[in-house]
């Protein structure tokens, strides 16, 4: 039997035995005709760039070829685990499995890996769940979906950035002002509710404006085009990030709001809580589901 088939059969067997919630596949593997016991198979998109960078960061410091190969395999294995964690967290935020085991199958030209991953131990999912303790999970979920979409597709073919400050909205409004007229002012709540998908297009449109979105605990957009009047001193975030990220982190220190940002430059989604970056993810194309 060809290698890919053997790997797919083995992954399906492991998944059935462990009662997995999903199989996540990357690479040229065909599950047609393989008994998966109704476990859904997701085809995930390419590895995020950060993981590829990590993989190719080989150190050539005079190590023996065997040690070099060992290091390369370790990097490859940890890169694959990170890749499955990342893809599973994105599917968690979209409509994918919420808990249990996910079996990841990564097929590259040189190697095949089967990774058994417990979603309960996924650091990104844990961080999302911690946010959900503070903000209505449905509201958090809607914000993440919109943010992923903005990170992935931008607007009119251009990459754009955005920031959503979610929860504790009275305090956030007190610590901010409009830089342009608030496009949500005076509109009925039904048209400002982030839980209603029909309002998502206009939210994405207003993401083009300068400033942040302020969203209350029930999902009502209180304002867009809002400037955060916060003190960015002593905010310890990744070097190279500017005003959008510093102010988003600072407002999460000064209030109990959660900040979700999308960077214009790299399409990276970050979440700040209590001034700390708790999530940093490159956007990936949503997986396509096979079963
Ligand atoms: N204090 C603030 N409050 C609200 N919005 C802000 C604030 N500072 C900056 N912004 C918004 O962020 C945009 C980008 O600013 P800047 O490039 O300094 O941030 P950044 O963190 O580097 O973001 P990106 O990675 O997306 O470029 C500004 O055009 C503005 O819309």
How far is ligand 1, taken at its centre, from the CA of residue 227, in Å?
9
- Residue with token string 């067997």: 13
How far is ligand 1, taken at its centre, from the CA of residue 87, in Å?
27
Q: What is the ipTM of this complex?
A: 0.97
What are the domain boundaries of the chain? 3-119, 126-282
Any idea which of 25-39, 61-75, 120-134 has the lowest mean pLDDT?
Answer: 61-75
Please state the atom number of ligand 1 nearest to the C-alpha of residue 226: 4
Distance, CA of 194 to CA of 217 (rounded, Å): 11
What does the H/E/C string look like for 175-196? CEEECCCCCCCCCCHHHCECCC
Q: Nearest C-alpha to atom 1 of ligand 1 is from which residue?
A: 228
Is the per-residue pLDDT at 283 higher than 90?
no
For 50-87, what is each residue's pLDDT tens digit? 655 655 554 555 667 777 778 777 888 888 888 899 99
Distance, CA of 23 to CA of 194 (rounded, Å): 31
User: For residue 144, how many C-alpha atoms fall within 13 Å in the half-sphere facing its CB?
Assistant: 32
Q: Nearest C-alpha to atom 8 of ligand 1 is from which residue?
A: 243
Q: Nearest C-alpha to atom 14 of ligand 1 is from which residue?
A: 244
How far is ligand 1, taken at its centre, from the CA of residue 252, in Å?
15
The CATH architecture of the domain made up of 126-282 is 3-Layer(aba) Sandwich (3.40)
Q: Is the pTM of this model over 0.80?
A: yes
User: For residue 75, how many C-alpha atoms fall within 13 Å in the half-sphere facing its CB?
Assistant: 16
- How many other CB atoms are there within 10 angstroms of residue 184's CB atom? 21
Local confidence band at 95 (pLDDT 50, 70, 90 cut-offs) = confident
Local confidence band at 207 (pLDDT 50, 70, 90 cut-offs) = very high
């Amino acid at each position: 039997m060809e290698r890919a088939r053997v790997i797919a059969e083995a992954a399906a067997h492991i998944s059935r035995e462990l009662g997995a919630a999903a199989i996540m596949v990357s690479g040229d593997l065909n599950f047609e005709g393989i008994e998966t016991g109704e476990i859904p198979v997701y085809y995930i998109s390419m590895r995020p760039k950060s993981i590829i960078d990590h993989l190719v960061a080989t150190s050539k410091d005079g190590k023996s070829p065997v040690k070099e190969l060992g290091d390369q395999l370790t990097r490859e294995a940890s890169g694959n685990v990170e890749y499955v964690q990342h893809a599973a967290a994105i599917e968690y935020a979209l409509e994918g499995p919420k808990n249990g085991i996910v079996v990841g199958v990564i097929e590259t030209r040189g190697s095949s890996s089967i990774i058994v991953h417990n979603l309960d131990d996924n650091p990104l999912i844990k961080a999302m769940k911690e946010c959900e303790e503070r903000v209505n999970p449905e509201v958090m979920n809607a914000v993440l979906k919109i943010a992923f979409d903005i990170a992935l597709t931008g607007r009119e073919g251009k990459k754009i950035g955005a920031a959503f400050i979610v929860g504790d909205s009275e305090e956030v409004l007190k610590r901010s002002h409009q830089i342009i007229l608030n496009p949500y002012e005076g509109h009925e709540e039904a048209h400002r509710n982030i839980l209603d998908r029909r309002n998502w297009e206009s939210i994405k449109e207003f993401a083009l404006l300068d400033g942040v979105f302020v969203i209350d605990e029930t999902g009502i957009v209180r304002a867009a085009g809002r400037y955060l009047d916060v003190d960015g001193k002593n905010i310890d975030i990744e070097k190279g990030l500017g005003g959008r990220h510093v102010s988003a982190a600072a407002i999460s220190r000064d209030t109990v709001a959660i900040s979700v940002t999308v960077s214009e430059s790299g399409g990276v989604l970050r979440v700040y809580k209590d001034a700390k970056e708790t999530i940093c993810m490159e956007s990936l194309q949503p997986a396509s589901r096979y079963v």
